[in-house]
Amino acid sequence: MVLEIKNLTVYAKERQILYDVSLSLERSQLIVLMGPNGSGKSTLAQTLLGSPFYKIIRGEVLLDGESIVNLKTHERVRKGLFLVFQNPVEIQGVSVLNLVKAAHSSITSEQTSIFEFKNKLSSLLSFLDLEESFLYKNVNVEMSGGEKKKSEMLQLLAIKPKYAILDEPDSGLDVDSLKLVAKAITNLLNSNVGVLLITHYTRIINELPSPSKVYVMLNGKIVTSGGVEVAKEVDRGGYEWIGKN
């Protein structure tokens, strides 16, 4: 059971963004993708979920041995992919409860009442330090940065996909929110979910089990990879150091 990215070359309009990117992610495995702003990390995440803004020119994406490059976003989600966005969009008129229930039903085909599903979420609300009233908020509307991240973690924990791609889930978080997000990620790993964590910094990595592999991306290319020591070297010397080696 593995998500494989093989020699992925991606364009946005006429500009090449990714150059022969290859990496793999197994179930229950944590891998980390680091890189400065504009290096192509978010492009990779959105390409994996089938964003129409990016075109795959060469390469392959295999989910458990099956190519998904020609599938639409909702089909990829049903196959087991989930993306936590760096900047989640606001959805007026849709409650957190209705969104999570609809996503869960679509993926699992389980049919339960709103009341039953709300009860199922009670332990997750407690886990994320959220009140029941949070479920009735419009998705990401008038939410703090920490609340938006918790909302996405709630969706993740309720759905438990095969593979989760987290695009900078630590951005803009205070220490307490960061620890909660890290706790949620650890829960996912313990639930047989493979996690690709995209981040600039090591502070969230320090709150997690040691990653199986750390990749560094510069200018759309994977320029180095290794164990957690790679992240520590980035922390000490920055990305400029990586670029010189």
Q: List pLDDT tens digits, range 40-57.
A: 999 999 999 999 999 999
Judge whether residue 86 has pLDDT over 80.
no
Residue 135 to residue 17: CA distance in whole angstroms: 38
Contact 138, 92 (CB under 8 A): yes
| HSE-CB for 100 with a 13 A CA cutoff | 30
- 20 sits in which H/E element: strand 15-26
Contact 160, 188 (CB under 8 A): yes
Edge-first strand listing for the sheet containing 194-199: 81-84, 163-167, 194-199, 30-34, 213-218, 221-226
pTM of the model: 0.91
Listed range (3-7, 23-27, 148-152) with the worst mean pLDDT: 148-152
| Residue among 169, 153, 162, 194 at smallest CA distance from 26 | 194
Which pLDDT value is given to residue 89?
Answer: 82
Contact 152, 85 (CB under 8 A): yes
Residue 121 to residue 200: CA distance in whole angstroms: 31
User: Given pLDDT bands bounded at 50, 70 and 90, which one contains residue 245?
Assistant: low
Domains and their CATH numbers in the chain: 2-89+163-243 (3.40.50.300)
Residue 122 to residue 57: CA distance in whole angstroms: 45
Long-range pairs for 230-239 at CB < 8 Å and ≥24 separation? 230/34, 231/32, 231/34, 231/202, 231/205, 232/202, 234/34, 234/202, 235/201, 235/202, 239/34, 239/35, 239/36, 239/39
Judge whether residue 87 has pLDDT over 90.
no
What the block records as the tokens of 103 is 């996503």
What the block records as the tokens of 170 is 């630590």
Listed range (72-76, 196-200, 241-245) with the worst mean pLDDT: 241-245
Residue 52 to residue 73: CA distance in whole angstroms: 9
